[in-house]
Structure 1
Amino acid sequence: MTAASLAEVLRPAMAGGHAVAGLVVLGWEDALAYVQAAEETGLPVILQAGPGCRQHTPVPVLGRMFRHLADQARVPVVCHVDHAYSVEECREGIEHGFTSVMFDGSKLPIEQNIETTRAIVEIARPAGVSVEGEVGFVGYAQGAGSALTRPDEAVRFDRETGADALAVSVGNVHLQTEPTEGIDWAALRAIEAATSLPLVLHGGSGIPPATRRALATGSRVCKFNIGTELRMAFGSALRRALADDPAAFDRIALLGATIPAVRATAREILLELRGR
C-alpha cells in the first residue's frame, strides 16, 4: 500500500468515531515496530518525525525511510513532519516524501499563525500533502506552561487556513511520564461546537488509557500524538537486554531486542484508540 496523507486517515476516523495514533519516531527500530503493530491490528498509523528526530537524522534520509516502510505496508501509513516552525521546514519535508506536515505556530499571534499556515497549505495541497496546525499552546512537563485554546481563535483558524487538522490545548501536556487526569472536557466541547476540523491532542502519553479511549470514541479528537510512553518501553527493553547479557556490544542486536516491547506497546495504543 502506498503512503497516505493525514486527511485520508483522519476523515474516516472522524466519521467512524475513533482516532489514529501519531507515534513519535527516533530511529529505524521504533519506526519498524510501529508499522509491524499497525499491520498486526489492520489499522492505519502515523509515523512522526519531530524536531529531535530531524536534528539527529537528516530529513532526506527520514523521508526515504518512512516512505520505504509505508510503501511496503499492508495498511495506510502517514509520513508526518511534527512541530515544524517555519515554511522552509515544511517545504523540506514535502520535497523529501512526507505526506503530512505540522506547522507549530502556537507561539505566534493568531493572525501570523493563520497567515503562515495558509501559505504552507498553498504549497502542500498541490503535492497532495496534508497540513496540521495548532492554536493555543500545549505545555511541557517540567517546562513551559500551557495556554488553553480559545474557541474564537480556533474557529478563525478553521475557516481561514484550509488546514486538514487542528491541534488544541485542553489540559494535555507534552513529555508526561505518568498519566494525569487533566483534560478539560468543557474546553474541548466549546472548541468542537465552534469548529469542524479533525482535532489533535499532543502529549498523549500523559492522558490515561481509559480517557484516551473515551476521547477517541466520544469526541472529535481523531489523532493522539504519543512518544514518551513508547520511549519508556524502548528504554526498559534496552536495559533488560543489557542486563541479560552484560558482555553484549553489538548495536544491531541490542537495538533489535527493543522491537518486540515497542511493538506490543504500540499495538495496545492502536487498539485503544479504535475503542477495542
Structure 2
Amino acid sequence: MPLVTTKEMFKKAYEGGYAIGAFNVNNMEIIQGITEAAKEVNAPLILQVSAGARKYAKHTYLVKLVEAAIEETGLPIALHLDHGDSFELCKSCIDGGFTSVMIDASHLPFEENIRITKQVVDYAHSKGVVVEAELGRLSGVEDDVKVAEHEAIYTDPNEVEEFVERTGVDSLAIAIGTSHGAYKFKGEPKLRFDILEEIQRRLPGFPIVLHGASSVIPEYVEMINKYGGQMPGAKGVPEDMLRKAASMAVCKINIDSDLRLAMTATIRKFFAENPGEFDPRKYLGPAREEIKKLVKHKLINVLGCAGKASEIL
C-alpha cells in the first residue's frame, strides 16, 4: 500500500480516545525497530523526519527506507516533516513524496505565523498533503530547534479558533508544558490540562499534537551514566500524563529523545562489555531490538493505538 496522510488516522484516534505515535527517524535501524514493533501490535504509524535528519541521511534514502517498511509491514504509515521552518523546505518535502508536513512559524508574530502557515496549507492541499502548525512555543533543544526556558510560551486558547479558521491547517501543535530534549522539568512535571481542555472545547473534534513528549525513561539514563555518560537530572513527561492527553483531543504524540536514549544506552553497554568489537551489525542490532521493545511499550501502554491499524486500512 502507498503512504497515507494522517486525516483518517486522526479521525479514528479522536473518536477512540487514543493517539498515534509520531516517531523521529534518522537511519535504517531506527525505522526497522519502530515498524517491526508496530507490525507486531498492528498499530498505525507516523514516521517523521526533522530538517537535521534530512540533512544527515538525505531525503531520498529516508523516503525509500520508509517505503520499504510499508512493503515489509503492510501498515498505514504517514511520512511527516517535523518542524519545517520555511515554505521552501515544506514544498521540497511535499514535492518529494511526504504526505504530511509541519510548518513551525510559532516564533513569529501571530499574523506572520498565519500568513506563512496559510501559504504552506494552500500548496500542500493542492497536492493532497496535510499540514500541522504550531501556536505557543516549547522550551528545549531538538536538532535546529532551540528555545530557552524563559522564551517558552503556553498556547493561548483565545487564538486557536481564528488561527485554524484563517489558515485551514489540519492539526495544531500546542504548548502546555512539554519540552524538547531530555531535560524537561526542574521540579515536578506538570502539564496544563486546563489549557488543553479549553482548546478542545473551542475546537471540538479537531486533532491536537503534543511535541516534546518523550518520558526520558530512567533505565536508559542510568545505563548511559553507568557506562561513561553524563546526564544528571534528566527528566521527561510521566507516561500517565501522556495517556490522559491521548484520551482527550491529542491525536499525535511526538517521540524522539526516548529513541535516542534507548539506542545510545544499548550501544554504550555493548562497547563496555565488548571493547574489541568493530562489526556495526553487532552493536546496531541490539540497539534496533531495544528500540523495538520501547516502541511496543509506547504503542500499547501509552498511546493506546495497538490494534488500531485495521481501522485505517
TM-score bracket for the superposition, by shorter chain length: over 0.9
Give yes or no for the alignment of 1:229 onto 2:249.
no
Q: Which residue matches 2:294?
A: 265
Could you tell me how far apart the structure 2 residues matched to 1:127 and 1:69 are?
23
Is the Cα–Cα contact under 8 Å of residues 211 and 254 in structure 2 kept in the other structure? yes
- What are the superposed Cα offsets for residues 156-209 of structure 1, whole Å, 9 maximum, x if unpaired? 111111111100001111113577522011111121122242000101013211
Is the Cα–Cα contact under 8 Å of residues 271 and 277 in structure 2 kept in the other structure? yes
Q: Which residue matches 2:83?
A: 83
Q: Which residue matches 1:182?
A: 190
Could you tell me how far apart the structure 2 residues matched to 1:150 and 1:37 are?
36
Partner amino acid, structure 1, of 2:148: A
- What are the superposed Cα offsets for residues 196-233 of structure 1, whole Å, 9 maximum, x if unpaired? 4200010101321111111112x101111111111111
- What are the superposed Cα offsets for residues 127-148 of structure 1, whole Å, 9 maximum, x if unpaired? 2211100011111169512200
Query: Which aligned pairs between 1:41-56 and structure 2 lie closer than 5 A?
Result: 41-56=41-56
Change (3 A) 1:143 1:160: closer
When the two structures are aligned, how many residues end up with a matched partner? 275
Structure 2's unaligned 5+ residue stretches are 215-235, 307-313
Give yes or no for the alignment of 1:238 onto 2:267.
yes
Partner amino acid, structure 1, of 2:174: V
Give yes or no for the alignment of 1:203 onto 2:207.
no
> After the TM superposition, which of the residue ranges 84-93 and 191-200 deviates more from structure 2?
191-200
Q: Which residue matches 1:58?
A: 58
Could you tell me how far apart the structure 1 residues matched to 2:180 and 2:256 are?
9
SS in 2 for 1:43: coil
TM-score, normalised relative to structure 1:
0.94
Could you tell me how far apart the structure 1 residues matched to 2:147 and 2:172 are?
23
SS in 2 for 1:134: strand
Is the Cα–Cα contact under 8 Å of residues 151 and 191 in structure 1 kept in the other structure? yes
Query: Which aligned pairs between 1:39-188 and structure 2 lie closer than 5 A?
Result: 39-140=39-140, 143-145=147-149, 146-177=152-183, 181-188=189-196
Could you tell me how far apart the structure 1 residues matched to 2:73 and 2:114 are?
35
Could you tell me how far apart the structure 1 residues matched to 2:164 and 2:130 are?
14
- What are the superposed Cα offsets for residues 53-103 of structure 1, whole Å, 9 maximum, x if unpaired? 122122232222222323442221111110000011011111111111011
Q: Which residue matches 1:274?
A: 304
Is the Cα–Cα contact under 8 Å of residues 200 and 224 in structure 1 kept in the other structure? yes
Partner amino acid, structure 1, of 2:260: R
Partner amino acid, structure 2, of 1:227: D
SS in 2 for 1:237: helix
Could you tell me how far apart the structure 2 residues matched to 1:174 and 1:189 are?
22
Partner amino acid, structure 1, of 2:88: E
Could you tell me how far apart the structure 1 residues matched to 2:184 and 2:127 are?
39
Could you tell me how far apart the structure 2 residues matched to 1:236 and 1:43 are?
26
> After the TM superposition, which of the residue ranges 120-129 and 134-143 deviates more from structure 2?
134-143
TM-score, normalised relative to structure 2:
0.83
Is the Cα–Cα contact under 8 Å of residues 67 and 79 in structure 1 kept in the other structure? no
Q: Which residue matches 1:250?
A: 279
Partner amino acid, structure 2, of 1:165: S
Could you tell me how far apart the structure 2 residues matched to 1:275 and 1:6 are?
14
Is the Cα–Cα contact under 8 Å of residues 178 and 184 in structure 2 kept in the other structure? no
Deviating beyond 4 angstroms after TM superposition, the runs of 4 or more aligned structure 1 residues are: 177-180
Partner amino acid, structure 1, of 2:195: A
Structure 1's unaligned 5+ residue stretches are none
Change (3 A) 1:165 1:143: closer
Could you tell me how far apart the structure 1 residues matched to 2:154 and 2:239 are?
22
Structure 1 vs Structure 2 CA RMSD: 1.8
